[in-house]
């Protein structure tokens, strides 16, 4: 527990020193992972979650490590316990058996490839970049600044076979 808190603090400091402009915030992650509880077909109680990053992009590497620390060290308040791991965008096909991918900042150049893998393997993709959802390349977009916003891409959801409860769909904006 102490180690997880220390790691989370270290990654937060690294994020702040690196500028953190487009980085994913803790609130974005907390809200994003809670989305799994609204799936029509619930995930197993323990499920893997890939944190997709681009190893060639420093912002992406730093952001993915911060997301990993937060998900590993925080109680996320979900029914499903998510077991996070880092996945380089160049190894996307390795995510075929992973039901959830959280995209780190700096993966924009790979959105098309990520969307394609998600469609073929029925993967829920979550991003703090709302443009990813608006362009139908991510399933869920979450932003907590300046206000909480959760977007659902109807097209990506349908094409990847990821369905959400009606209650959830009434609470979010669909594109």
Count of residues making up the chain: 175
Could you tell me if 107 and 54 are in contact, meaning their C-beta atoms sit under 8 angstroms apart?
A: yes
Ramachandran bin of 166, using left for φ above 0, alpha for ψ from -120 to 50, beta for the remaining angles: alpha
Stretches where the chain sits below pLDDT 70 are: 1-21, 74
The dihedrals phi and psi of 55, each to the nearest 5 degrees, come to -65, -15
CB distance 143 to 128 below 8 Å: yes
Question: If we measure between CA atoms, which residue out of 163, 155, 93, 152 comes closest to residue 121?
Answer: 93
Tens digit of each residue's pLDDT (9 = 90 or more) over 153-166: 999 999 999 999 99
Question: pTM of this prediction?
Answer: 0.86
- Ordered by where they begin, the domains of the chain are 2-174 (3.40.50.2300)
pLDDT of res. 69: 95
Check residue 105 and give its pLDDT: 97
CB 89 within 8 A of CB 114: yes
Q: Please, what's the b/e burial string for 87-96 (b: 16 or more CB within 10 A of its CB; e: otherwise)?
A: bbbeebeebe
Q: What is the pLDDT of residue 74?
A: 67
Separation CA 153–CA 133 (nearest Å): 5
Is residue 44 within 8 Å of 94, Cβ to Cβ?
Answer: no
């Amino acid at each position: 527990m102490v180690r997880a808190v220390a790691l989370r603090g270290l990654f937060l400091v690294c994020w702040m020193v690196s500028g953190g402009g487009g980085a994913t915030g803790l609130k974005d992650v907390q809200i994003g992972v809670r989305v799994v509880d609204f799936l029509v077909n619930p995930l197993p109680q323990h499920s893997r979650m890939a944190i997709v990053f681009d190893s060639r992009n420093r912002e992406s590497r730093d952001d993915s490590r911060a997301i990993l620390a937060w998900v590993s060290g925080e109680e996320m308040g979900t029914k499903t316990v998510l077991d996070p791991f880092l996945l380089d965008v160049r190894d996307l096909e390795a995510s075929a058996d992973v039901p959830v991918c959280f995209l780190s900042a700096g993966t924009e150049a790979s959105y098309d490839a990520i969307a394609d893998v998600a469609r073929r393997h029925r993967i829920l993709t979550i991003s703090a970049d709302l443009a990813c959802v608006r362009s139908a390349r991510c399933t869920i977009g979450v932003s907590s600044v300046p206000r909480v916003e959760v977007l659902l891409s109807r097209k990506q959801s349908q094409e990847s076979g990821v369905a959400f409860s009606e209650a959830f769909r009434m609470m979010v904006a669909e594109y």
